[in-house]
Amino acid sequence: MGDDMGGVRPESLMMSHGHDPHQTEGSVKVPIYQTSTFEFASAAEGKHFFAAKGAGYIYSRLDNPNLRVAEARLRVWDGAEECLLFGSGMSAISTTLLATLRPGDIFVHSHPLYGCTDFLATTFLPEFGIMPVAVTGDMHESAVEAAVEAAMAAGTSDARLGMILLETPANPTLDLFDLEMYAAIVERHGRPGSRPLLAVDNTFLGPMWQRPLEHGADIVIYSATKYIGGHSDLVAGAVLGDRGVLEPIGHLRADLGTTASPEVAWLITRSLETLQVRTDKQLENAARVAGFLRDHPKVRRLRYLGLLEPGTRAHDVFKHQCLAAGALITVEFDGGEAAAFRFLDSLGLIKLAVSLGSTESLAEHPGSMTHAGVDEDVKRRLGITPGLVRLSIGVEAADDLIADLAAALDAV
């Protein structure tokens, strides 16, 4: 881990790490520091704080005690030196990309991507001369290298690989990407004084079920709205990695104003206390739900990491790279969108809503909702079909979830 925790397990550290009650009138819980600005003890201290970033508190857009506690606790799970909290997952991703990529760079990204990330990669960044290269989970190392080399040949004379961003498991297909393979590609494309970065959007498994830094990633990104927040009552993002790697991202966060608020940071701190127990229950429930859905005659195809076929490349990556199967399931129906909508509209206990990773179970239709903006040909090629439904399993009683799904399946 990034800190010497004296052998104390992360779930225990979530109750106190980074907070000294004796500095807050004995308050066991971290108070909310509801302030925009902080008073300096002297003009010299103010000068010092501005000259030495992080030396003290200046303004809550730059730093805040709630941020420091939440960031200190979150980085325990990934063993990271540094953590930065953002106002949303997309602000975490966009700030990271803008701080890292430059005109003329080659930007390799996994496909499929969450719809808004896909927009950044394929529409927004190319306007600034950044060339996207899409890779899929079934591509071998030689195919990825060939795609990169082709992009560099088509680019400027000084084109370089700037970053690889992998969303693994992919949203919503749950395709897996071999992080160590991509880490080797990054190493080969390093230049004196310059090295591409490998960033991983780990939202779908969260820090409980996958640790990308242990497999060669430089940066881990989260929509902390999901499993980390876990209660559907906040929107936040997080970026983790070595201090030297995150330094330019942190500077740009302050300048762009994409920092999480004290209230959101406080809620993240609250949520981290139950991260272990929440995700343990979600994992258990998802396995039971997947077992029920696997053999149902109305389900044309089921995707769940716990049921990958042994001997396949995806299963090999899962066993090596992931700590557990997570709590996301996709089901595909014959009958396309009409069948998927009948299923969704017949759910009762499970909520029809986007997002994922919260205590309540959620269901959505990627093709017309989270991935509505993705090109139709791309969706079809990647398996985001009209009959595909994504399920995020929560902490309800598994028998009740199965009963709800059984009733909805009767309507398909």
Partners of 110 in the β-ladder: 135
pLDDT above 60 for 3 = no
- Judged on CB neighbours under 10 Å (0-12, 13-18, 19+), 402 is middle
Locate CATH 3.90.1150.10 in the chain.
275-410
Averaged pLDDT score across all residues of the chain: 94
pLDDT tens digits, one per residue of 239-259: 999 999 999 999 999 999 999
Fold of 275-410: Aspartate Aminotransferase, domain 1 (3.90.1150)
Name all contacts of 370-377 with Cβ < 8 Å and 24+ positions apart. Answer: 370/114, 370/115, 370/171, 370/172, 371/112, 371/114, 371/115, 371/118, 371/171, 371/172, 372/115, 373/115, 373/116, 373/118, 373/119, 374/112, 374/115, 374/118
- Average pLDDT (335-349) is 97
Name the residue with higher pLDDT: 158 or 113.
Answer: 113
pLDDT above 80 for 183 = yes
pLDDT at 313: 95
Calpha distance 72→272 (Å, rounded): 11
- Average pLDDT (71-78) is 96
**Single pTM value for the model:** 0.93
pLDDT at 12: 85
pLDDT at 196: 96
- Judged on CB neighbours under 10 Å (0-12, 13-18, 19+), 312 is exposed
Calpha distance 90→116 (Å, rounded): 8
Residue position matching structure tokens 């969450």: 114
What are phi and psi for residue 234, nearest 5 degrees?
A: -155, 160
pLDDT above 80 for 90 = yes
The model's confidence at residue 1, banded by pLDDT at 50, 70 and 90, is: very low
- Average pLDDT (306-331) is 97
Calpha distance 259→91 (Å, rounded): 9
Locate CATH 3.40.640.10 in the chain.
43-272
CATH of domain 43-272: 3.40.640.10
Residue position matching structure tokens 């389900």: 299
Contacts of 318 (CB under 8 A, 6+ apart): 176, 305, 308, 325
pLDDT at 53: 79
pLDDT tens digits, one per residue of 5-38: 668 888 888 888 888 877 877 888 888 999 999 9
Alpha helices of 160-302 — where are they, by DSSP H? 179-188, 206-209, 243-256, 262-272, 275-294
Calpha distance 105→185 (Å, rounded): 16
pLDDT at 11: 86
